[in-house]
Chain A
Amino acid sequence: MSRKKKVKATVVSQKQIADQIYDLWLETGLAKHAHAGQFIGVYPHNASMLLPRPISICEVDKAGSRLRLVYRIAGRGTDEFSTCKAGDTLEILGILGNGFPLEKARGKRVFLMGGGIGIPPMLELAKELDADKQIIVGYRNKDLFLEEDLSKYGNVYIATEDGSVGTKGNVLDAVRTNRLKADLIMACGPMPMLRAVKQYAAEQGIEAYISLEERMACGVGACLGCVCKTRETDHHSHVRNARICTDGPVFEAKEVEI
């Protein structure tokens, strides 16, 4: 793994693609080290906001040294990012986290499941995975995003909470309605969805890799702010507390207590 760095990245472009959802391309040398499921920390310019905002990587353009972030405005920091224009700079910390274990999925039937703002990392994952991909994404309503990008890499099944597009319900409702089967799951989304995915995988007897999030401070594994309970004692904490920023954010579902 390459050394982590804090660097200045240049905004290539930014546009709003759904309600509160922004699509940001950054130019940075860090892009060549990035892969699916990893994230970067983005620092607000406003000095009253100290901490880097962890944002998952949506797409990597290694040749062009560019990273794509698709994020939702969740507070003052991301609100500030949404005002960035082409040519502006942002301080970023990366590349952070472990990413999805691509080798586990090679040649298998895989569900790529994304819920809400957990959808963006599924795009780079869909690009990188050498597998039979079924992409299942859940939204609140018909205000969709990234569904066209995703459709380039596999069949896309949509679920919406209000039933306005695709299956009414969540990603697992879409699996049932469409009678989909998989040997392995890779997922990112809100905690209730990840709990349901974990349970579904256990029932089906298949492996699932889920990407977790938690309030973070350092982002590099030093402060122990963003831990999650693990089934086994891990090598670092010795108290069954894995660091989501460093040991994760992707964990095998059965290894974490969520």
Chain B
Amino acid sequence: MNTKVTIAGVTLNNPVMTASGTFGSGMEYSDFVDLNRLGAVVTKGVANVPWPGNPTPRVAETYGGMLNAIGLQNPGIDVFAERDIPFLRKYDTKIIVNVCGKTVEDYLEVVERLGSEPVDMLEINVSCPNVKEGAIAFGQKADCLYDITSQIKKKARQPVIMKLSPNVTDIVEMAKAAEAAGADALSMINTITGMKIDIHRRKFALANKTGGLSGPAIKPVAVRMVYQAAHAVQIPVIGMGGIGSAEDAIEFLLAGASAVAVGAMNFVNPYATVEVVEGIEAYMKRYGVENVTDLIGAVEE
């Protein structure tokens, strides 16, 4: 039985990753799971300088999901390179660094800086709905996405994954724009913009008013978008959105994802990532699947 998948020339022991922002840099969850069992750890977004993020409350639960508006708080690339990368290097897992920025120059600075660091891939966050400047603007217009992707590709020393926003009219157009600009892979979906109001206090549940919806509530949207994108582009798609079990993960693989990420469901079950890995293995055994890659896009039309 072979669970290895290769994305942009990087071979992962299995197709299970963590979704950026839900797993820190792995330190906090290493109490619960053996990071060596994960295909890759995708880090919390990192910018060129420290970002303080948004005011609290930053999180709110919703039916079958949660809203967050953390605002990409991060300690900046210097601390990250000194602390988080060496920590992750101790494990037999691939390191994918999520990069955020407010301007193209911000992104390029981090991407260039990471060029000399021992990380396997870069995931570019052009789809955070919770930051006022930059960020999502790059991810909601196809020409902007094309532009930033091609500029990043010129500087990047590692394969570049573009993380797409679901808050668009036509996800296929966005996927094609990223591919045309040279992206090596796509991550999708980021959170769906949402809002919650406390009717007793007549106040927004989040200080930021709006937040990104994640968790099982968004899974059908994510599966649909992964299916559409995976059938429209040649580059691999990493699927995420409410994955908490192997059944969820396999649904994404069958829809066309080459790998999957566990996000908000880490909060529900801190062992979820490894349980997904084990569950995929059990599924392969049960159905006599030799290579996990045989499942990719294998939904019958």
Contacts and interface: CB of A to CB of B under 8 A. Distances in A.
Interface in B87-137: none
Contacts of A138: none
B60 interface: yes
Given A6-B269, A217-B66, A238 B24 contact: no
Contacts of A217: 59, 66, 68, 264, 267
A18 interface: no
Interface in B55-89: 56-61, 63-66, 68, 70, 73, 75-76, 79
A246 interface: yes
15 contacts: A3-B32, A4-B270, A47-B64, A50-B66, A50-B265, A93-B270, A215-B56, A215-B60, A217-B68, A218-B28, A224-B53, A225-B58, A226-B59, A227-B53, A238-B76
Interface string B248-277: 000000000000000011111111000000
Given A43-B268, A50-B66, A217-B66, A238 B50 contact: yes
Nearest to B78: A238
A228 B207 CA distance: 13
B36 interface: no
Contacts of A215: 56-60
A236 B44 CA distance: 13
B13 interface: no
**Most chain A CB inside 10 Å of its own CB: which residue of B60, B68, B270:** B270
Nearest to A236: B75
A49 B61 contact: yes
Contacts of B21: 223
Interface in A206-230: 214-228
Contact of A227 (B24, B56, B264): B56
B56 A223 contact: no
Contact of B61 (A5, A50, A227): A50
Contacts of A221: 24, 28
Given A50-B264, A224-B73, A227-B73, 9 more contacts: A47-B216, A49-B61, A50-B65, A50-B267, A214-B56, A215-B57, A222-B44, A224-B44, A227-B53
**Most chain A CB inside 10 Å of its own CB: which residue of B59, B70, B79, B266:** B59
A51 interface: yes
Interface of A: 3-6, 43, 47-52, 93, 214-228, 236-241, 246
Nearest to B76: A238
A239 B51 CA distance: 7
B57 A6 contact: no
Given A218-B22, A223-B22, A224-B70, A51 B64 contact: no
Interface residues of B, number: 39
User: Chain A at the B interface: mostly helix, strand, loop or mixed?
Assistant: loop
A227 B54 CA distance: 10
A52 B61 CA distance: 10
Nearest to B75: A238
A146 B31 CA distance: 34
A21 to B, nearest CB: 19
A5 B44 CA distance: 22
Contacts of A219: 267
B23 interface: yes
B28 A225 contact: no
Nearest to B21: A223
B22 A222 contact: yes
**Most chain B CB inside 10 Å of its own CB: which residue of A51, A214, A224:** A224
A91 to B, nearest CB: 9
Contact of A51 (B73, B76, B268): B268
Contacts of B264: 50, 217
A227 B58 contact: yes
Contacts of B60: 215
Given A222-B22, A222-B24, A241 B32 contact: no
A4 B31 contact: yes
Nearest to A245: B28
Contacts of B52: 239-241
Nearest to B29: A222
A52 B59 CA distance: 13
B214 to A, nearest CB: 9
Given A6-B270, A225-B68, A50 B28 contact: no
Contacts of B70: 223-225
B215 interface: yes
Nearest to A4: B31
B92 to A, nearest CB: 20
Interface string B14-52: 000000011110001101100000000000100000111
Contact of A226 (B22, B50, B56): B56
A93 B31 CA distance: 12
Contacts of A239: 50-53, 73, 75
